[in-house]
Chain A
Amino acid sequence: DAKTTQPTSMDCAEGRAANLPCNHSTISGNEYVYWYRQIHSQGPQYIIHGLKNNETNEMASLIITEDRKSSTLILPHATLRDTAVYYCIVKAAGNKLTFGGGTRVLVKP
C-alpha cells in the first residue's frame, strides 16, 4: 500500500472548518483513501473513505485531487470533541490497515 505524509500537528478554532491534508503521491489506481481518528484513550474511529470521487457523510467531507496524489479531510464545524489524532491511510481493497503517525489536531475555544 502507498505511504502517506501528514503534518504532525495542527490547531483549529472551535466552530471553524478544519482542513487536514494528506499526501499520497505513490497511490495506485486500486487503492482507497481512508480516514480514521483516535480520541485520547479510545479505539480508532472510522470517519470516511473514497477512491477518486469526493465523499461526504455526517462526520466529514473527503476531497481527493484529480490526480489522486493528495486529499483533504474537512471537518465542517470543529468542536472541542474533535480534538484527536487523525490518520490518513491508503490501502487496496482486502489489504490490512497500516497506521502511520497521523496528525494531532487540537481544537481551541
Chain B
Amino acid sequence: DAGITQSPRYKITETGRQVTLMCHQTWSHSYMFWYRQDLGHGLRLIYYSAAADITDKGEVPDGYVVSRSKTENFPLTLESATRSQTSVYFCASSLWADTQYFGPGTRLTVL
C-alpha cells in the first residue's frame, strides 16, 4: 500500500524555468492539498482540490498552477520559477477534508 507519494524528492532548477511537482495517492481520497514550508512561516496552503476537476486557492497561490484530471493525481506547476519559491513542498490527501495524510515532501531549490 503506497499511500501518498511525491516526486521528485529533490529538485534544483533555474529562475524562469517551468517545474512540475507530482503527487499521487492510492486511497481514492476526495481531497488533495499542496503546502509549502519555509523557515519562519511554517506550513502554508497553496491550493487544494475537493474532487477531480475542482480546485481552489489557498493562502499563497500566486505563481502556482494546479490541475486534477484524475482523483489520484494532483500535480503542482511553477510556470516560471522564482527564487522565492525555494521551499519544501508537501502534498496531502483526506477523505472528507478532515484528517489529512501527508506525503514525504519535495525539496525544491531555485537558483
Instruction: Point out residues on A near B: beta carbons under 8 Å.
Output: 32, 34, 41-46, 49, 93-102
CB contacts (< 8 Å) of B33 on chain A: these are: 96
CA distance A94 to B98 in the complex (A): 6
Known A-B contacts A95-B97, A96-B97; A44 and B90 likewise in contact (beta carbons under 8 Å): yes
Partner of A43, one of B48, B58, B97, B103: B103
Instruction: Point out residues on B near A: beta carbons under 8 Å.
Output: 33, 42-43, 45, 48, 58, 90, 92, 96-105
Closest 4 CB pairs of A and B: A43-B102, A99-B43, A44-B102, A99-B42
CB contacts (< 8 Å) of B96 on chain A: these are: 93-94
CA distance A41 to B10 in the complex (A): 12
Instruction: Tell me whether B43 and A96 are in contact (CB under 8 A).
Output: no
B101 to chain A, nearest CB (A): 6
19 contacts between A and B (CB under 8 A): A42-B104, A43-B90, A43-B102, A43-B104, A44-B43, A44-B90, A44-B102, A46-B99, A49-B98, A49-B99, A93-B96, A93-B98, A94-B97, A95-B97, A96-B48, A97-B100, A98-B45, A99-B43, A100-B42
